[in-house]
Amino acid sequence: MITKKVNNVQDATEGIEGGMTIMFGGFGLCGIPENTIAALVNTTISDLTCISNNAGVDDFGLGLLLQKKQIKKMISSYVGENAEFERQMLSGELEVELTPQGTLAERCRAAQAGIPAFFTPAGYGTEVAEGKEVREFNGKMHIMEEAFKADFAIVKAWKGDEAGNLIFKGTARNFNACMAGAAKITIAEVEELVPVGTLDPNQIHIPGIMVQRIFQGEKFEKRIEQRTVRVKN
């Protein structure tokens, strides 16, 4: 069995350079590869193009890379929780490509499956469709979206084994599962790394063939992006 285990986050991120395109898994602040992001913040790498459902918050997640001006372009579907993101976008410091959430997920999944492009009705007749091929299917107009081309995909899993097999937990499965294997190199950050044969094969969400590097994170912070409470009358 080929082992995908690396010793630490520094070994996992070897080869990441400025100007690269990187996918970051997670949904909101749930299931984000926070140890890997923190390691990148401590480097001088810049001019990154980041593909992520959202851009973190001001002091956590991708918001930390934004603070250090390490991101040149964000490809996202939801960016409403980050004031620094808004400031950089409005000032022209940050290039932004807003994408419908389903389209974002499918562009990841298409890259994972080796599909170069697909047609979707989402975004037809809006700015999203500008410059894209349009075709009619069953009486409905669709636009062509290309699969992402990324250098690295960085995902976070609940459990993984040394062969790279991954199990996600709850909402963390969003975007992590479709990004794994969708880039030239996939890095998996896990809360618990176990020997091969420990995981129940029926519970594995991503097979190890889609992962090139895996390591156990040292610290995980269970943040809530927006705390919503209801007062009982």
Q: Residues 109-134: pLDDT tens digits? A: 999 999 999 999 999 999 999 999 99
User: Which pLDDT does position 225 carry in this prediction?
Assistant: 63
User: Which pLDDT does position 223 carry in this prediction?
Assistant: 64
- If one counts every other C-beta atom within 10 angstroms of the C-beta of residue 130, the result is 8
The pLDDT-based confidence of 180 (bands split at 50, 70, 90) is very high
* Number of structural domains in the chain: 1
- If one counts every other C-beta atom within 10 angstroms of the C-beta of residue 224, the result is 9
User: Which pLDDT does position 57 carry in this prediction?
Assistant: 82
Q: Is the pLDDT of residue 59 over 90?
A: no
Strands (E), 21-127: 21-24, 48-51, 71-76, 95-98, 117-120
Scanning the structure block, which residue is given the tokens 């080869």?
15
Q: What CATH number did the domain enclosing 79 receive? A: 3.40.1080.10
Question: Closest by alpha carbon to 55, among 45, 44, 70?
Answer: 70
Residue 128 lies in a domain: no
Residue 86 lies in a domain: yes
* Measured distance CA(67)–CA(47) in Å, rounded: 13
User: Which pLDDT does position 170 carry in this prediction?
Assistant: 87
User: Which pLDDT does position 226 carry in this prediction?
Assistant: 66
Q: pLDDT (tens digit, 9 = 90+) per residue, 199-226? A: 999 999 999 999 999 999 987 776 666 6
Amino acid at 23: M
Q: Is the pLDDT of residue 30 over 90?
A: no
Residue 55 lies in a domain: yes
Query: What is the 8-class DSSP label of residue 206?
Result: B
Residue 92 lies in a domain: yes
Containing structural domain, residue 177:
9-119+146-216
Residue 175 lies in a domain: yes
Residue 138 lies in a domain: no
Residue 131 lies in a domain: no
Q: pLDDT (tens digit, 9 = 90+) per residue, 87-113? A: 999 999 999 999 999 999 999 999 999
| Global pTM value | 0.91
Residue 232 lies in a domain: no
* Measured distance CA(217)–CA(38) in Å, rounded: 11
